[in-house]
Amino acid sequence: MNRLNLLQFYREFLPVGPQTPTISLGEGFTPLIRSRHLGRQLGLENLYFKFEGTNPTGSFKDRGMVVAVAKALEEGARGVVCASTGNTSASAAAYAACAGLPAVVVVPAGGIAPGKLLQAVAYGAQVFAINGTFDRALEAAVELSARANLRLVNSLNPHRLAGQKTAAFEIVDELGDSPDYLFLPVGNAGNISAYWLGFKEYRAAGRTTKLPRLAGFQAAGAAPIVLGRPVPKPETVASAIRIGHPANWDSAVRARDESGGVIEAVTDDEILAARRLLAKLEGLFVEPASAAGVAGLVKFRSLVQDPRAVVVCVLTGTGLKDPAPGFDVESRVYHVEDLGQILETLGLEVSPRSSG
Ligand SMILES: *Cc1c(COP(=O)(O)O)cnc(C)c1O
């Protein structure tokens, strides 16, 4: 089957030209899944999930990284560097490998999910764990990029946001217009800024008649935009949004205000409850941060007045890299001696032993 290439498919909206190498690991074109259960529970007839966990390294970061690394290659950079709460490093390392460039990754020591760290190592990046927060790791990465001719591929790099806009394009292409509301997690605030750019560019190009209201959600222990001041020691189970001083703070606030939307906080308990709901009610297993948008929809349900409104929740990444939080597996597994105990526990009517 002929898979679409993201760089080529949306090239008129991307900073790519004939000289840009069209690298690809199969990013983008992620499913927009119509809710079968949660929407009904919430009284919403048109609830959708944009599931970014199907991207090659398991998060939406791949959309931006394919553009940033292609441009680094085009411009002759010696390699790429990033700071990361996890998914950016996995993505940078994978696309650098694909492009044949070295990758340098700086992470906050002890602050990233083991599965994500493992990815960066597996894809061959040089990984440095620095004491302190993500913001400190980012300072180091910025310094390295300036002093060692390594291309910075954090969301301060505008090519990252350019690539991430494509998720907004896909939603419009699939629905035929913009949704009425877009719910999503907010960490470094690149993604909310990128979606807003995408919807606005599509409207300017006449591909959509309206713009959605944006509803962004930070974790309560890492909610600088909600509080209106940086958080020196951000804390949350949702490591991908454990950020105290977002790089794209101003553009996120602009996006919120221009769209008539909100940026609010949800607690870790609310995030993990939403994570469980998504898995159990919809069959969608996401990482803790990815559930923040849905936690926000549950908590601030009254934001959406019309039950027929089209609501899209962005599920930013797969659950497999950080599987444990929110699930007590041991207490949910029954240890049994024999088939009889299984039947008894299930409490089902049983027919006589089959002979075949
Ligand atoms: C990066 C990331 C976020 C936060 O996105 P920002 O652009 O930093 O706001 C949310 N969820 C996942 C899974 C991520 O990897």
Residue by residue, DSSP assigns 130-192 as ESS-HHHHHHHHHHHHHHHT-EE-STTSHHHHHHHTHHHHHHHHHHSS--SEEEEE-SSSHHH
The predicted structure's pLDDT at residue 355 = 59
Nearest CA to ligand 1 atom 15: 87
Rounded distance from Cα 18 to ligand 1 centre (Å): 31
The predicted structure's pLDDT at residue 354 = 67
Nearest CA to ligand 1 atom 2: 240
Q: Are 105 and 126 in contact (CB under 8 A)?
A: yes
Nearest CA to ligand 1 atom 4: 187
List, run by run, the mean pLDDT of 10-residue segments along the chain (356 residues): 85 96 96 98 98 98 98 96 94 98 94 91 96 91 93 94 98 98 97 98 98 98 98 95 94 98 98 98 98 98 98 98 94 92 86 67
Q: pTM value?
A: 0.95
The predicted structure's pLDDT at residue 85 = 85
Rounded distance from Cα 240 to ligand 1 centre (Å): 5
The predicted structure's pLDDT at residue 145 = 95
* Stretch (H or E) spanning 88: helix 87-99
SS3 state at 265: strand
> What phi, psi does 151 have (nearest 5°)?
-80, 125
Token readout for 314 is: 């962005």
Which residues contact ligand 1 via a Cβ below 6 A?
Answer: 59, 61, 87, 155, 185-191, 240-241, 287, 289-290, 316-317
DSSP track, 189-237 = SHHHHHHHHHHHHHHHTTS-S--PEEEEEEEGGG-HHHHTS--SS---S
Strand 103-108 to strand 80-83: parallel, antiparallel, or no bridges (unpaired)?
Answer: parallel
**What's 50's DSSP letter?**
E
Angstrom distances, CA of residue 81 to CA of 180, 275, 307: 37, 31, 45
* Stretch (H or E) spanning 312: strand 310-315
Nearest ligand 1 atom, CA 243: 8
Nearest ligand 1 atom, CA 216: 9
Nearest ligand 1 atom, CA 60: 15
Nearest ligand 1 atom, CA 194: 7
SS3 state at 297: helix
Compute CA 35 distance to the chain's CA centroid, rounded to the nearest angstrom: 18
